[in-house]
Structure formats: C-alpha cells, structure tokens
A and B are shown apart, each in its own frame.
Chain A
C-alpha cells in the first residue's frame, strides 16, 4: 500500500525525524487559508503540491509556488482536479517554501538479492534515483543494515561522510537510522526521502541557520503486514482506490484492472500472468489480472465473476484453473452457481485441470460450458469469442 506524502511525513515525524511543517487542503479555500497562515508567519513563499500516488507530479505541473493568498488560490484551483497520469488530484499539501542549499537522496529499501534492508544515499538529490543509477552509478552509496540490529551508528556515519554530510553529521545519523526504524516500525518495504535537503531558515535570533530536513517522503507498506498495524489501514486513501479494487480486496482476491475485453479468472499469480500473456499472444487484450488464490471455493468464484462482469468492456471470460490445493470440482460448482446469478450473458471458456479435474469436467459438461484442454487452446477460444461478441455489438 502506497502512502500519500502527507501521511508518510506524519510517520516520519512520529519516529522523531525532522520534517518542515505542512497542511493538507481539500479545497481552494483551505489551501488559501493555509498559505496565508504560513505567509503571515514570515515565509516569503509557500509550496503547493498535488497529493497523488503517482510519480512525476512536478513535471505534470502538480508542484507550484505562491507568494500571496490570491496566488495560492490560483495555484490550488489549477492543481485541484488536475489529472496526473490518470489520477485526479483531490487534495494538496501546503507548506512554507524551503530555501534549499543542497539536495540529497536517501532511502531504505528491501534488497531481495542480499535479503536485507539496503540504505541508498546520494548527493544527487531531487532527481529520480533510477536516473542516477543509470548515468552515474558510483554516485550512489550503498550500506546494508544488520539483519538483527538494524543500521548501526558506524554504518550511518560511513553513509553520511560518503554523502558529504560531515557538517550535519548528527542529523544525518539520526535520519539514516530513523529510516530503518520507520521501516521496521510500520513494516514498510520502501522509505524514500527525495530530496533530503539542507535548508536555510531564520534562527531564534533572526540570523540564518542551516539544517537538514526531509522535504519529501514516499513510503510503501508491506500488504502482508497490514493486519498487525490496524491504525495504518486508516491511511488507505479512498480517493485512490477504485470500487473494483476495494471489492477485490474485501473478497480476498488479487485483482488488477487492465484495458482489454477478455476477463480472466485464474488460480496462482504466475499462471494468472501467463494467462494474460497468452491472451495477448492470441491477438486479444486481457481486461484484468485476477488470482483467486489457493483453495478458492464457490463463494470466491462468485465474487470473482461479479468483479469481472462489473467491467462493461468485458465481452468474453476465460477461466483457467490448475488445481493443486484448489479442487477443480469446487471451482466448477462455483461457476455454475455464478452463471445462474449472472446479470448479463457473456461467453465463457473454461479450463480446469489438476486436482479433481475429472469431476470438474463432468460438471462442466452437464452444464454445457465451453471448455478447453490446453492453456493455449483456452486463450485462442476466448479471443475468438471476444472477437465475435465485438463484431456483433
């Protein structure tokens, strides 16, 4: 689960990390009020940032500065409602615009190859780390946290020195260790600060001071661990979850909507991907990725069918089940029941093999389902059915 910047920042603050203040605004009036508050407090400008869970906000015009209440109102009304990579902006973050002296990159990620937590730091902040990895790989400093103890002080120091943060060593140490603490506290698989920045601020006596702060934050939570962090479920953004995604999550199905016309119902993630690939190879377009999981029975099959049919573009359905833990006859029974309740008639091609596949075949035959023996044949038949339906429509 991806978190919005504002929520990610809240988690960082809860772990004691330095983050400049901010406010979240859902309306132009709220944005203006927040901007005026910061401007009245002595800030020259405020920054207004779209809160959407996609990258590239800045390039899309979703991050802008404002120097007055009027300007903040203009900017907020331009950003709110803006479409960024298919997501509509429904809220903005408003904060004092930072006087940036230098930008860095710092992130804690799950490293699959080393089976541990990897800290990645770079003095090239503000740009995407993938870009740095391509153009200047030596600029990325990598440190692996201890599997049991986390990031040790000396490791954090090594990282800070290598990033050129000698003048801010204490804060750099606190932030680097804090990223790992945050990761472990919330079961995140990514905690990214880009940019981590040295900013110039007015000190207590009015003279400028420099300090190291987290200017932006990106956190992705491990879905497998959400059950033990009940509070974090509240951070799921209802604006960013489509109704079908919510229905799938609640039914225990893994579902990803795509653009095509052939609805797919499969058991197992690898086989579900393969089924999509073969639909495409046969000349069709999959409408979704849908894994009903291991051991699915009639109720899950019915939920999956309803989910597939809720997409008006679907004009053919491909069911591909290779029973291991899943018992084929239970899926077949589920399909028969689901079809009886089906609100619109969509051609369906069913392939069920593996555990109790013979029993499934009998049930499907009696109920006059169109069946296929091999995966390739099933994909071809589904594509043909979709074409025929498309031509008839």
Chain B
C-alpha cells in the first residue's frame, strides 16, 4: 500500500516546462510514476516530456481533463505559495512543494488553505517522496532505493539519500521514503508521517531522521511512545555539534534559547523506544538490533 504515493498516483507537475521541472518530471515518469499532466500558465495546449504529457494553463483544467490527484511543484519561490493554493483549490489531495527559499510568512495562509480544503501538503523545501517499485514524486535519486517494508521520514534532502543508501546497501528495502522539508513552516510534520506509517499495512519498521531546531521530533516521539511501542524504530539527529544561535543552512535548523538541541531530541526519541544512531550508516544494524527481520 505504501503512504502518500503509490500505483494510484496521478501526478500533475506544476512548473513542468522549467529546467528542474522537466528534468525531475522525466525522472519520475521513468521510475514508473503516472505523470498525467503539467501546468505552466500561458503554455497550455503544448505537451511536455517528449509529447507524452499534456500541459495546461491551470491546475483546475488539468484536474478536469486528466483526473490528477497529486501535484509536484517546481514553481520559483515568489509564486510557489500561490501554486500550492491553486492545487488545493483545484481539489488535489496530496501536494509536494520542492521549492526552497519561500518567505515563511507566505506559507501561513497557504497551509491554512490546504487544511481548509482537506488536502495534504508535503514541504516546502523538501525532496518529495518515493514508494520504491510503485512511484517516485520529487527529486530523490531513484537508484538508492530498494523495495521493502521500512518507512523513512526525514527533514533533510541529501542526508535522507545517505540514510536510504545505507539501508538499501544492507538489504533493507523501503515502503515509502518521505522528506518533509527543512523550513520552519511546513505542511506535514514528523508526527503526521508517523501516523500514516502506523496505519500502513506494508510498513513494519521506521527510520526517523531529524535535525536541530523546533520541537517536531519531540512531539513525534511523545506520540510514538504510546502508539508505536511494538514496531522496530531507529533515528538519527543531525547537528549534535552545531553552535547555539546559528542557522545551520535550513531556515528551521537553529538552536535558540536552549531549545531545539540535538540532546533534547535524542533523549526524547530514546525515551520513546527509538535506537538513535551516531552515524546514518549505523541505521541498518540498529534496526536489526531492534528486532527488525525484514
């Protein structure tokens, strides 16, 4: 079954005619994702991806014509929040926003509209998701995956690749890997994804990759204590050596006023039964230690 994306995903790519949009829409299609439409305002009527995908002026039109249910956004930062709201208004159920550098306050009404429409937003500033063997929506390199039953959730992009690669190399395949994004205002949190994994029949173990800043890891850990007691789970937290008061690249990755430290996250996760790795490469062995036999 996997979570968020799968064989029933019908993908519309917003910003499909741009450099990144074209490249990654093509990679998603090559992976087997059903890319049904593209949207670039003013370029409706054309086709993209070597004539295989129709381009529309609006998401609403794309939904009417193709039954798209999932959107992937590569629109540059100034227009990205509007692209998210357009997708939600058009009835798209699952919206992935890859765009980075969106002003945080712009995301507040966008997230609110997504919530009001009953849609789900992943990101922004995220790498998207892959359900190995089923669908890939976003920019995670296809080659690192392996089909399996471990759910992976992370705030980061390349660090996720590192962890997934380590898992695949060790023979541990994934049900779904999802990057939720490194911005302060994001649509889907660790907690949301853990809840989805908990309800997924095809996910038997969990890998959580967090980083300093905020309290989302602690919130997720508190929920996991009660609801994920019986599932093998491991975690990694980036930024153990990060100095206080400095933004470590991600707009959300900052320790302020003593809150958001790696130590706080590690202890919350350990208390919830996660085994916390000192390096992403240790995750597979720790998952085995936790009793995962997949």
Q: Which residue of chain A lies nearest to B240 when distances are taken between CB atoms in the complex?
A: A277
CB <8 Å contact, A289 and B249: yes
B123-145: CB near A (< 8 Å → 1, else 0) gives: 00001000000000001110010
Q: Determine, out of A40-48, A160-168, A219-227, the stretch whose residues face the partner at the interface.
A: A219-227
Q: In the complex, how many angstroms separate the beta carbon of A86 from the nearest chain B beta carbon?
A: 11
Give the distance in Å from the alpha carbon of A286 to the alpha carbon of B101 in the complex: 26
Interface residue? B67 (CB, 8 A): no
Contact of B211 among A130, A189, A224, A270 (CB under 8 A): A270
Give the distance in Å from the alpha carbon of A5 to the alpha carbon of B257 in the complex: 19
Give the distance in Å from the alpha carbon of A277 to the alpha carbon of B209 in the complex: 14
CB <8 Å contact, A324 and B141: yes
A175-215: CB near B (< 8 Å → 1, else 0) gives: 00000000110010100000000000000000000000000
A-B contact count (CB 8 A): 168
Interface residue? B102 (CB, 8 A): yes
CB <8 Å contact, B165 and A273: no
Q: In the complex, how many angstroms separate the beta carbon of B194 from the nearest chain A beta carbon?
A: 15
CB <8 Å contact, B105 and A222: yes
Chain A hits for B144, CB < 8 A: 354
Q: A353-B165, A354-B161 are in contact. Are A113 and B248 (CB under 8 A)?
A: no
Contact of B246 among A223, A256, A291 (CB under 8 A): A256
Give the distance in Å from the alpha carbon of A294 to the alpha carbon of B96 in the complex: 18
Interface residue? B155 (CB, 8 A): yes
CB <8 Å contact, B157 and A268: yes
The DSSP consensus for interface residues of chain A is: mixed
Of B139, B144, B161, B182, chain A has the most CB atoms within 10 Å of the CB of: B161
Q: Which residue of chain B lies nearest to A53 when distances are taken between CB atoms in the complex?
A: B245
Interface residue? A276 (CB, 8 A): yes
Chain B hits for A355, CB < 8 A: 141
Of A184, A222, A286, chain B has the most CB atoms within 10 Å of the CB of: A222
Interface residue? B120 (CB, 8 A): no
Chain B hits for A256, CB < 8 A: 243, 246, 248
CB <8 Å contact, A294 and B241: no
Interface residue? A278 (CB, 8 A): yes
Q: Which residue of chain A lies nearest to B183 when distances are taken between CB atoms in the complex?
A: A224
Interface residue? B278 (CB, 8 A): yes
Give the distance in Å from the alpha carbon of A388 to the alpha carbon of B91 in the complex: 61
Contact of B103 among A129, A225, A278, A295 (CB under 8 A): A225
The A221-276 residues at the B interface (CB cut-off 8 A) are 222-225, 228, 254, 256, 258, 266-274, 276
CB <8 Å contact, B108 and A115: yes
CB <8 Å contact, A269 and B253: yes
Which of the four size classes fits the interface of chain B?
Answer: 35 or more
Q: Which residue of chain A lies nearest to B20 when distances are taken between CB atoms in the complex?
A: A325
CB <8 Å contact, A274 and B159: yes
Give the distance in Å from the alpha carbon of A271 to the alpha carbon of B236 in the complex: 11
Chain A hits for B141, CB < 8 A: 323-324, 354-355
Q: A270-B209, A273-B242, A376-B279 are in contact. Are A112 and B158 (CB under 8 A)?
A: no
Contact of A130 among B189, B241, B242, B258 (CB under 8 A): B258
Chain B hits for A324, CB < 8 A: 127, 139-141, 157-158, 161
CB <8 Å contact, B108 and A116: yes
Interface residue? A128 (CB, 8 A): yes
Give the distance in Å from the alpha carbon of A224 to the alpha carbon of B103 in the complex: 5
Q: In the complex, how many angstroms separate the beta carbon of A352 from the nearest chain B beta carbon?
A: 12
Q: In the complex, how many angstroms separate the beta carbon of B160 from the nearest chain A beta carbon?
A: 8
Interface residue? B21 (CB, 8 A): no
CB <8 Å contact, B250 and A269: yes
Interface residue? B286 (CB, 8 A): no
B202-214: CB near A (< 8 Å → 1, else 0) gives: 0000000101101
Residues of A near any B CB (own CB < 8 A) = 110, 112-113, 115-117, 128-130, 147-148, 183-184, 187, 189, 222-225, 228, 254, 256, 258, 266-274, 276-278, 280-281, 286, 289, 291, 294-295, 322-325, 353-355, 374-376
Closest 10 CB pairs of A and B: A270-B156, A269-B249, A268-B158, A270-B159, A225-B103, A147-B112, A130-B257, A273-B238, A271-B158, A273-B239
Please list 13 pairs of residues, one from A and one from B, whose beta carbons are closer than 8 Å in the complex, sorted by A's number.
A115-B107, A115-B111, A116-B112, A183-B105, A222-B105, A256-B248, A258-B243, A268-B249, A270-B159, A273-B159, A276-B241, A278-B279, A280-B240
Given contacts A110-B105, A147-B109, A295-B20, 15 further A-B contacts (CB under 8 A): A130-B258, A147-B111, A184-B105, A189-B105, A256-B243, A269-B211, A270-B209, A270-B211, A271-B156, A273-B248, A277-B239, A289-B248, A291-B249, A322-B165, A376-B281
